[in-house]
């Protein structure tokens, strides 16, 4: 049974909505709340349908031991596998971000507000990986509830850059990037609400694809706001990214994020049949992505320009273009993100007003955890909830509504630029991996962690597929080249990645698994 409203509480609750009850009304309204409670209790008595998980062999595993995880990329090693399943991921060992549900495996969202929480149902992504023959082998570190791109806010500590362990791997899917340098992880899944696949992929020197919005179901994954929630592959090769996307893409009946039709293409074939050159491909270089307004670092800009020259060497037609909306897109995304996430947390991580599969167990665990550990939340989460509560109190959703209504304007800006072009390119992140500085003042650290998303956040609103390629380097550190295509042309992005990969390879040179004998000395700061 649900807790009932006491008569003494009625006016406190009423005042939240700017009215009050006089003494003659209190008894009447108390009777009415009892009437409502009887109704809600009758629903509580109903048993929800039990989840129908695939009959996988499930070992929830263990936390890494000393020396097993030099990048602090892994929250726990595990083993979940559907015996006899064969498909595009047969033999592949997959790591999942610590926001993606796997039945029987603890989930924390990189936080301390979900102690002891273990999902009883697989996310759609996990289910499809298992059905395609993949084995889920790791739960991967992430920024606290995915609220930062800095890679340094997790309750488990920062995830470190594989090329310099005095720096972070970026976020919020930092573990999904860095873990790809361990020999026992082949491919990973990250989630992206403002750049959280692409920034850590860029800083870790791997491929990261934010698919077209709605291409990959987000059911059973902790999110921030439905219009900006994405899950996608992170990988060392274009072929591996294509294999994973092929397994997880497609329509699912309980995801409200997906449009009525979800066109799925042959991503594996797009890579296997990738041409030797890019003749006839028309690429626009977005000037605003290199501007001081996004905080561009000169070394990063120069490295990306060099990578674009290699696209031209491959035969692509390269044109400078301007997308003025790009410089305002991050603000639109951020404005919606603040109130959207506040409302989502108030709704137990589910939110309201949509049809699909809800997650009541998460709501119960999150409610208890926030009450018990609120003081220990990350600074990014605390700030977001303060500002979101302020917006709700004074503007009642108007700020969020305006931001949502600007989505079409922003999308049109990129679509207009794509007229006569096939793709747009720019730096993934304005700068290279951050040095880990635990004593940095709170305000500076929070702003630094969000500033890295300046080029990536707009595409979370517009829904365009966007890939980051480890096509450049500066000072021995990886620099990402970000490429955008039209909606559902994810296959073309993977094809371009393979063409570039087979001609030039990726940069910097892959450092290999740091746990191998004789390799630890190659890691700066190790």
Which of 99, 172, 173, 176 is the catalytic position?
172
Q: What is the DSSP string of 209-259?
A: EEPSTTSS--TTB--S-GGG-EEEEEESSHHHHHHHHHHH-S--TT-TTS-
Which of 81, 97, 123, 429 is the catalytic position?
97
Query: What number of other Cβ atoms are within 10 A of residue 187's Cβ?
Result: 28
Q: What residue has token string 């998460």?
A: 362
Exposed (0-12), middle (13-18) or buried (19+): which is 245, by Cβ within 10 Å?
A: buried
* CA atoms within a 13 Å half-sphere pointing along the CA-CB vector of 259: 10
Residue 128 and residue 134: Cα distance in Å, rounded? 9
Q: Which residues in 330-349 are b (16+ Cβ under 10 Å) and which e?
A: bebbebbbbbbbbbbbbebb
End-to-end CA distance of the chain: 54
Exposed (0-12), middle (13-18) or buried (19+): which is 437, by Cβ within 10 Å?
A: middle
By the 8 A CB rule, do 411 and 462 touch? yes
* Helices 238-248 + 490-504 axis angle, to 10: 160
Q: Which residues in 361-379 are b (16+ Cβ under 10 Å) and which e?
A: bbeebbeebbeeeeeebbb
The reply to whether 298 belongs to the active site is: no
What residues have CB less than 8 Å from 264, skipping those under 6 apart? Answer: 215, 249, 250
Which of 196, 204, 378, 429 is the catalytic position?
196
Residue 269 and residue 76: Cα distance in Å, rounded? 34
* CA atoms within a 13 Å half-sphere pointing along the CA-CB vector of 471: 32
Exposed (0-12), middle (13-18) or buried (19+): which is 158, by Cβ within 10 Å?
A: buried
Nearest residue to 345 (alpha-carbon basis) of 158, 189, 168, 144: 144
Residue 155 and residue 171: Cα distance in Å, rounded? 13
DSSP state of 90: T
The reply to whether 196 belongs to the active site is: yes
Exposed (0-12), middle (13-18) or buried (19+): which is 429, by Cβ within 10 Å?
A: buried
Tell me if residue 282 falls in helix, strand or coil: strand
Diameter of the chain measured on Cα atoms: 82
Residue 303 and residue 51: Cα distance in Å, rounded? 49
The reply to whether 371 belongs to the active site is: no
Catalytic annotation, residues? 97, 172, 196
């Amino acid at each position: 049974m649900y807790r009932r409203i006491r008569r003494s509480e009625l006016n406190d609750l009423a005042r939240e909505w700017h009215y009050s009850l006089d003494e003659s009304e209190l008894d009447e309204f108390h009777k009415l709340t009892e009437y409502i409670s009887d109704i809600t209790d009758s629903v509580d008595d109903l048993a929800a349908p039990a989840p129908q998980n695939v009959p996988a062999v499930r070992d929830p595993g263990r936390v890494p031991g000393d020396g097993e995880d030099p990048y602090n990329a892994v929250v726990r090693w595990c083993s979940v596998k559907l015996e006899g399943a064969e498909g595009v991921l047969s033999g592949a060992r997959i790591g999942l971000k610590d926001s993606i549900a796997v039945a029987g495996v603890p989930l924390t969202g990189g936080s301390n507000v979900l102690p002891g929480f273990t999902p009883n149902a697989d996310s759609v992504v996990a289910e499809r990986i298992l059905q395609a023959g993949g084995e889920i082998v790791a739960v991967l570190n992430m920024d606290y509830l995915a609220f930062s791109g800095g890679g340094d806010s997790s309750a488990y500590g920062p995830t470190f850059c594989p090329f310099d362990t005095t720096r972070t791997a970026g976020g919020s899917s930092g573990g999904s990037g860095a873990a790809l340098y361990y020999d026992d992880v082949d491919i990973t899944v990250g989630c992206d609400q403002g750049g959280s696949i692409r920034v850590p992929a860029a800083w870790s020197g791997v491929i990261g694809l934010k698919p077209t919005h709605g291409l990959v179901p987000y059911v059973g994954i902790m999110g921030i706001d439905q219009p900006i929630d994405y899950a996608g592959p992170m990988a060392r090769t274009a072929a591996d990214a294509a294999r994973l996307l092929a397994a997880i893409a497609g329509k699912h009946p309980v995801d409200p994020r997906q449009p009525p039709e979800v066109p799925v293409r042959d991503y594996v074939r797009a890579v296997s049949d990738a041409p030797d050159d890019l003749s006839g491909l028309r690429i626009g270089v977005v000037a605003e992505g290199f501007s001081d307004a996004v905080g561009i670092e000169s070394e990063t800009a120069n490295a990306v320009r060099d990578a674009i020259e290699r696209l031209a060497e491959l035969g692509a037609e390269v044109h400078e273009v301007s997308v003025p909306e790009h410089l305002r897109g991050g603000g639109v995304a951020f404005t919606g993100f603040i109130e959207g996430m506040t409302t989502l947390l108030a709704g137990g991580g589910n939110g309201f007003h949509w049809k699909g599969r809800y997650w009541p167990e998460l709501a119960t665990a999150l409610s208890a955890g926030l009450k018990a550990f609120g003081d220990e939340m990350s600074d990014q989460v605390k700030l977001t909830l303060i500002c979101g509560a302020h917006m709700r109190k004074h503007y009642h959703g108007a700020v969020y509504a305006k931001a949502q209504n600007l989505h079409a304007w922003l999308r049109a800006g990129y679509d207009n630029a794509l007229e006569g072009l096939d793709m747009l390119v720019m730096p993934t992140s304005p700068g290279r991996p951050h040095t880990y500085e635990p004593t940095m003042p709170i305000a500076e650290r929070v702003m630094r962690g969000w500033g890295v998303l300046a080029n990536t956040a707009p595409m979370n609103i517009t829904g365009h597929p966007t890939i980051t390629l480890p096509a450049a380097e500066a000072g021995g550190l990886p620099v990402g080249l970000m490429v955008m295509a039209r909606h559902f042309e994810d296959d073309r992005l993977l094809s371009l990645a393979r063409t570039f990969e087979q001609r030039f390879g990726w940069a910097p040179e892959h450092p290999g698994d740091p746990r191998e004998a004789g390799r630890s000395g190659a890691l700066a700061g190790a």
